[in-house]
Amino acid sequence: MYYYYKESGEIATAPSAMSIPEEIEVFAKLSDAVRFVQKLGCVGTSQHIIKEGEKGEFHRLCLEVLKRNVREIGEVFSLVLRGVRPSSYPDAEHKILFGSTDRKVAEFYGEIREYRNIKGLKVFSLMRSVNYEENGDESEMDEEIIFFPEEI
């Protein structure tokens, strides 16, 4: 597990928080970045369309950490499904996209768009499973695939 931070405008890594230079105030682990963007999406503030000037330094770092990890450890999914509401912005206007390989999960969020051979990062949702009513297991979380418009 690495800690990521910006040094001279570039992302740097450290093996522990204590290894980060003292003057650095903004840093994150991959899990921090995932949770941050998921929470923004879950509460409806849609980090996808926030203008550059409105994003904080931590937000920008999280997006960069996720892009780097998609590139380095992400996997290629033959089919990613994304539920899209009619009021959604075009994919190209988003900073980050979420999808799933589970059709029922994607349908919960809106009309299905299909993406083929997408490189993404598999994570698990913070919300109660879309399939909860069927299985009744509160500990089960839905799979989410984080990917970026430039991967389409």
The pLDDT of residue 45 is 47
Q: At a CB cut-off of 8 Å and minimum separation 6, what does 10 contact?
A: none
DSSP 150: G
Helix H segments across the chain? 30-42, 57-73, 103-108, 132-135
pLDDT tens digit string along 73-104? 999 999 999 998 887 778 877 888 999 999 99
Domain that holds residue 102: 3-151
Q: Is the pLDDT of residue 44 over 50?
A: no
Q: Which residue has the higher pLDDT, 20 or 137?
A: 20
φ/ψ of residue 117, rounded to 5:
50, 55
Instruction: Name the domain count of the chain.
Output: 1
Instruction: Please give the Cα distance from 92 to 96 (Å, whole number).
Output: 9
Q: Do 11 and 4 form a contact (C-beta atoms < 8 A)?
A: yes
Q: Do 118 and 76 form a contact (C-beta atoms < 8 A)?
A: yes
Cα angle 148, 101, 30 (rounded to 5 degrees) comes to 50
Instruction: Please give the Cα distance from 35 to 105 (Å, whole number).
Output: 18
Of 11-20, 103-112, 130-139, minimum mean pLDDT range: 130-139
Handedness of CA 132, 111, 109, 94 (dihedral sign): positive
| Residue 110, burial from CB neighbour count under 10 angstroms (0-12, 13-18, 19+) | middle
pLDDT tens digit string along 102-133? 999 999 889 999 999 999 999 998 777 777 66
Q: What is the pTM of this model?
A: 0.85
